[in-house]
Structure 1
């Protein structure tokens, strides 16, 4: 059951309260998503073959990829599922069975805005599935060089259970002045805005996530990535069985927004949301291909980002492809006529 509570005062892409138990989820691939959050609640951001819904459970698989990664190592390819709407502050709770049953496997439940790069993380890494790692980032988009990203906000909390063996409740409570991380209703970490670092050059500003963000679930292979990532996630990831599968399962997600509406996000799609996923190696924070230039765009020119347009709706592809197809049919028909005439001549002779 899903129950978005609508109101005409909400900007189209802004998140209102949602409870989704995946009985009949409105789920689309990033290619098929038409940009309308009233039509779909979630997108599969890449590798849709790894995502399915069975017995009212959202399941995200990670299997061995068919090609080595950029380090020349065999690596698993998982996926990520994101809400189509954004929230700015509120409470997000999800009942999840993590997939980190081997060193290297990273399971993630996050609140994320790629650009400007605000993010709040819940991660379970395979090197210790009985430990929850929490983190937050401020203004660190995927394009930022790694040596400029502040990784000092990580927290680690020991749990009294193996998170890959059963379902547990994970909760992020994100308010204008604090963040709480909870597991099974127990607060395992708190961060207060007034205790975070100052923004250099901006008096009174703090490095605290505050941009409207989507909720995302994902699983990826860190154990076969760069040396630093592998050491963090545990290595090597166990791919001794060719058909090995690691799976993150989500029983439900419940979102309660702090604001009833927000005017800071008025357009869709947001910057950074493109038609395809770049597959070029390990995914620390799976991102989407960015904007593209269209000289015929009359909306203001320059770079823009658009939802994927199906082939049968794209006139720029249909017309030339139709002409080419027609020409090919003429050539094939001509060859067939010549062949039959030759056969007839042989029979008469």
Structure 2
């Protein structure tokens, strides 16, 4: 995993999404130029989309982008997996552990959880919410994040579920605000080897004999509000204003931006 730039100075730059927009339709197959497979198990591609399947203990197939975005919009059309203790997730994750989550628990087909972390801090209460969704496992839904330096919003099928303002996350200290990759994946929170608290949160212990358990992602549409060749942490604060980047030549606007510092 990348070095945490809050802990270590002068980390290597993060590769950026150089275009303002990116889209992939996984029903047409893989896009290995933009995604890499990590975690245990393989991602398979069918006419239904990218299939993330847990067949046995230890499987946790995951895709992550080969590049980062610095504020933007992320729209994912998908079906969550069934199965007690099975967790489907869509995550934005930065090198200093800023994180934005959608999470679906396999034992609760009519719910989706939203969550966030700033700099990996998990001590604050009230970060997560549970929202209603109509059959997240058998029906495809549109889950969209809209992320700026001022606020972060979660949308379900175009309807606003939740907004987090910068100032409301410990006055910004715990607000996700650094360049992030997009991760799609599935894991067994209910695995018997996990901590009791994790198993309980995931909805109970997973019985792998009841599998396989499959999450399906049909498409992903991404807008990068600050397209760049790369992003560099200029100090160890983890503040968005400390991020230096060269605006990409094919972006919609290569002028100075309020997010970070262009050079």
- Counterpart position of 1:13: 15
**Offset of 1:139 from its aligned partner?**
0.7
Report if aligned partners of 1:53, 1:59 keep a CA contact under 8 Å in 2: yes
Runs of 4+ with deviation above 4 angstroms = none
RMSD: 2.0
Does the C-alpha gap of structure 1 residues 215 and 103 become closer, same or farther in structure 2, counting only changes over 3 Å?
Answer: same
Normalised by the length of structure 2, the TM-score is 0.76
Partners in 2 of 1:12 and 1:211 — Cα distance? 11
Partners in 2 of 1:12 and 1:236 — Cα distance? 37
Report Cα offsets for 1:18-56 as digits up to 9, x if no partner: 1100224332xxxxxxxxxxxx20000122x43111126
Report if aligned partners of 2:29, 2:49 keep a CA contact under 8 Å in 1: no
For 1:234, which of 203, 209, 227 is the aligned residue?
Answer: 203
Report if aligned partners of 1:14, 1:265 keep a CA contact under 8 Å in 2: no
- Partner secondary structure for residue 199 of structure 2: helix
Tell me, yes or no, if structure 1 residue 64 matches structure 2 residue 38: no
Partners in 2 of 1:164 and 1:263 — Cα distance? 37
Higher helix content, 1 or 2:
1
Tell me, yes or no, if structure 1 residue 182 matches structure 2 residue 155: yes
Partners in 2 of 1:51 and 1:237 — Cα distance? 21
Higher strand content, 1 or 2:
2
**Offset of 1:151 from its aligned partner?**
5.4
- Counterpart position of 1:26: 31
- Partner secondary structure for residue 228 of structure 2: coil
**Greater relative contact order structure (CA < 8 Å, 6+ sep):** 2
- Partner secondary structure for residue 219 of structure 2: strand
**Offset of 1:155 from its aligned partner?**
1.3
Higher-Rg member (1/2)? 1
- Counterpart position of 1:136: 116
Report if aligned partners of 1:51, 1:79 keep a CA contact under 8 Å in 2: yes
**Offset of 1:12 from its aligned partner?**
8.1
Partners in 2 of 1:149 and 1:189 — Cα distance? 19
Report if aligned partners of 1:13, 1:265 keep a CA contact under 8 Å in 2: no
Normalised by the length of structure 1, the TM-score is 0.58
Give the aligned length: 215
- Partner secondary structure for residue 197 of structure 2: helix
Partners in 2 of 1:236 and 1:256 — Cα distance? 38
Tell me, yes or no, if structure 1 residue 166 matches structure 2 residue 130: no
Partners in 1 of 2:224 and 2:15 — Cα distance? 14
- Partner secondary structure for residue 107 of structure 1: strand
Long gaps (5+) in structure 2 = 1-12, 234-263
